[in-house]
């Protein structure tokens, strides 16, 4: 049997840090970073006798997330203690939700491998607190704990095992991330750990009705690593099975450098955590009116923005999809279009060169270093003929390295387009003299020769000549 005889089964658990101002059970700030242990108080440092009080905003944000992912909202819910020991968790339990999560039975619509629509089920979304962070070996060996992150609110979104390939997993995660960004419940900054995924993978023979045993890779925070890890892990499992072995249910660590997974520990079961209701917190009861009110005030979701781009701006479905996939990209598109008034050109640049550079640099749209104003300025310079699109390509590269006003960039670099008739004519004549064969070709009816000559002239002027003018003038000169 080979890999083609197997099916991959994936379920994802996503932890998103909520962008509330304060923590889930105290009034400390949730801000990322800060001197170690400065965003703390007796509650989040787990001093004996300190009592938690649930932050109402956390409930509101979780309900928003549930509504945006087609979940049922549970009107009666509660907080439970999940007991385990780890040095970044001074209470020795995490306050989470066990059997009565705030949201359940939802779905997110994605595109599958063939580009067809597919629903990925969402089992549940629950609220919980984040743990602190250990800093290893920073102060001459040993580990020190920083509790700034302890008590930062999280929502955990658990998917059904409906995902069938690494590509689908990526599509699902991108969709979920964009929904949470649009409804402004989380900034989803993967590089700061505000959007982290536990990846569960199993394989089974095609056509089998039972799932295989899964392994889990925790806390992954880059799309690329997740895709690689799924591919590697599925291959590894298939090899084990093909050799007559059995998959152990365990937690694995993905190592990005070697591109392999390593065993960390046996997987705990729910019973190992000894869940029980937190006696310090009251039950959560929501009225229909409360839920209805949040529903009526949900911001625009990517799906409706996409429809709007197609109907109002006449963009293709593919382009609208790409532009709205990230809220940052879509906001930049709208803002820059509004400033320069040419949404077609803005969309073209965002989806071609800018997207290509994002890919090459392996960064996300929220890390674009330049502003919508700067992008709009560049588009205006193209429209006015101050720069050619060949120069604009260089300007985009420069905007990533050294973001500033494109007008300043082209002045500094001497990249202004040559649109002066006299100067263009000079180049045209020089190129014609140097390429008698192409001239002869043209006269013999080979129109393509003009393209070659324009190319030569662009080379001669280091991309600065206005290509439309060159084209026109070559034809005029050759027809003489």
Give me the residues that bind ligand ADP (CB under 6 A), please: 9-13, 158-161, 200-202, 211-212, 214, 216
Alpha-carbon radius of gyration of the chain: 28
Partner whose binding site includes residue 186, from Zn ion, ligand ADP, Mg ion, none (CB under 5 to 8 Å by kind): none
Q: Nearest distance from residue 81's CB to Zn ion, in Å? A: 18
CA dihedral 365, 367, 373, 377 (to 10 degrees): -80
CA-CA distance, 292 to 393, in Å (whole number)? 48
Partner whose binding site includes residue 84, from Zn ion, ligand ADP, Mg ion, none (CB under 5 to 8 Å by kind): none
Report the b/e string of 418-449 with b at 16+ CB within 10 A. Answer: bbeeeebeebbeebbeebeebbebbeeeeeeb
CA dihedral 325, 330, 332, 337 (to 10 degrees): 140
CA-CA distance, 190 to 14, in Å (whole number)? 11
Candidate segments 9-17, 134-142, 334-342, 358-366, binder of Mg ion by CB under 5 A = 9-17
Per the listing, tokens 């994605």 go with 110
Judged by CB under 5 A, the residue of 198, 373, 407, 477 near Mg ion is: 198
Is 26 near Zn ion (CB under 5 A)? yes
How many Cα atoms occupy the beta-carbon half-sphere of 187 within 13 Å? 14
CA-CA distance, 42 to 147, in Å (whole number)? 11
Q: Nearest distance from residue 203's CB to ligand ADP, in Å? A: 8
* Closest to ligand ADP by CB, 204 or 335: 204
Touching Mg ion, residues 33-62 (CB under 5 A): none
Q: Nearest distance from residue 163's CB to Zn ion, in Å? A: 37
Q: Nearest distance from residue 6's CB to Zn ion, in Å? A: 48
Residues 6+ apart with CB under 8 A from 19: 30, 61, 184, 185, 186, 187
Q: Nearest distance from residue 11's CB to Zn ion, in Å? A: 33
Partner whose binding site includes residue 41, from Zn ion, Mg ion, ligand ADP, none (CB under 5 to 8 Å by kind): Zn ion
Partner whose binding site includes residue 59, from ligand ADP, Zn ion, Mg ion, none (CB under 5 to 8 Å by kind): none
Q: Nearest distance from residue 25's CB to Zn ion, in Å? A: 8
The torsion angles phi and psi of 203, rounded to 5 degrees, stand at -130, 155
Touching Zn ion, residues 364-403 (CB under 5 A): none
Is 44 near Zn ion (CB under 5 A)? yes
In the complex, the residues that contact Zn ion under the rule CB under 5 A are 26, 28, 41, 43-44
In the complex, the residues that contact Mg ion under the rule CB under 5 A are 13, 198
């Amino acid at each position: 049997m080979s890999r083609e005889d197997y099916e991959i089964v994936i379920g994802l658990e996503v932890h998103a840090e909520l962008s509330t101002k304060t923590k889930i059970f105290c009034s400390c700030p949730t801000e990322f970073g800060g001197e170690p242990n400065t965003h703390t108080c007796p509650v989040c440092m787990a001093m004996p006798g300190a009592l938690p009080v649930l932050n109402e905003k956390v409930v509101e944000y979780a309900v928003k997330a549930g509504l945006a992912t087609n979940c049922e909202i549970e009107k009666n819910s509660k907080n439970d203690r999940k007991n385990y020991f780890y040095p970044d968790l001074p209470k020795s339990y995490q306050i989470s939700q066990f059997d009565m999560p705030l949201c359940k039975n939802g779905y997110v619509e994605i595109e599958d491998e063939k580009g067809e629509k597919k629903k990925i089920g969402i089992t549940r979304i629950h609220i919980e607190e984040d743990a602190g962070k250990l800093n290893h070996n920073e102060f001459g060996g040993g580990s020190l704990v920083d509790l700034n992150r302890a008590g930062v609110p999280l929502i955990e979104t658990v998917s059904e095992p409906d995902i069938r390939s690494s590509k689908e997993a990526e599509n699902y995660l991108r969709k979920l991330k964009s929904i949470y960004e649009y409804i402004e419940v989380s900034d989803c900054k993967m590089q700061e750990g505000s959007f982290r995924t536990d990846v569960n993978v199993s394989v089974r023979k095609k056509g089998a009705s039972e799932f295989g045993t899964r392994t889990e890779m925790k806390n992954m925070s880059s799309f690329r690593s997740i895709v690689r890890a799924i591919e590697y892990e599925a291959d590894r499992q298939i090899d084990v099975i093909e050799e007559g072995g059995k998959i152990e249910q365990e937690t694995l660590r993905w190592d990005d450098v070697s591109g392999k997974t390593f065993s960390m520990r046996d997987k705990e079961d729910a019973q190992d955590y000894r869940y029980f209701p937190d006696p310090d917190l009251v039950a959560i009861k929501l009225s229909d009116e409360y839920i209805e009110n949040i529903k009526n005030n949900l911001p625009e979701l990517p799906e409706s923005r996409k429809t709007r781009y197609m109907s109002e701006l006449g963009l293709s479905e593919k382009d609208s999809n790409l532009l709205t996939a990230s809220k940052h990209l879509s906001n930049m598109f709208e803002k820059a279009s509004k400033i320069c008034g040419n949404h077609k050109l803005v969309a073209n640049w965002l989806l071609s060169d800018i997207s290509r550079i994002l890919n090459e640099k392996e960064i996300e749209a929220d890390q674009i270093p330049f502003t919508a104003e700067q992008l709009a300025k560049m588009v205006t310079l193209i429209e006015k003929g101050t720069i050619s699109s060949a120069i604009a390509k260089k300007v985009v590269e420069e905007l990533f390295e050294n973001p500033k006003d494109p007008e300043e960039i082209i002045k500094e670099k001497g990249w202004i387009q040559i649109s002066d008739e006299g100067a263009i004519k000079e180049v045209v004549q020089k190129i014609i003299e140097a390429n008698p064969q192409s001239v002869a070709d043209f006269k013999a009816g080979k129109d393509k020769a003009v393209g070659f000559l324009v190319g030569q002239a662009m080379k001669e002027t280091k991309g600065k000549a206005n290509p439309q003018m060159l084209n026109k003038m070559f034809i005029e000169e050759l027809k003489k």
